[in-house]
Amino acid sequence: MSKKFYRDTWAEIDLSAIGHNMESVCRLYRGRDVKVMAVVKQMAMVMGL
């Protein structure tokens, strides 16, 4: 059985950058029948994992 290790972690999310990116995607695919799936991904090296 492995021991679980927990530590305080936080993520800073720039909502204006997400909004800008979504506007860009919407402009790029305007008029097309597409769906967008958002993914939040951690950077393991930066997070110390």
DSSP 4-47: P----------HHHHHHHHHHHHHHTTTS-----------TTTT
pLDDT along the chain (49 residues), means of 10: 74 89 93 87 61
- Specify whether the CB–CB gap between 25 and 36 falls below 8 A: yes
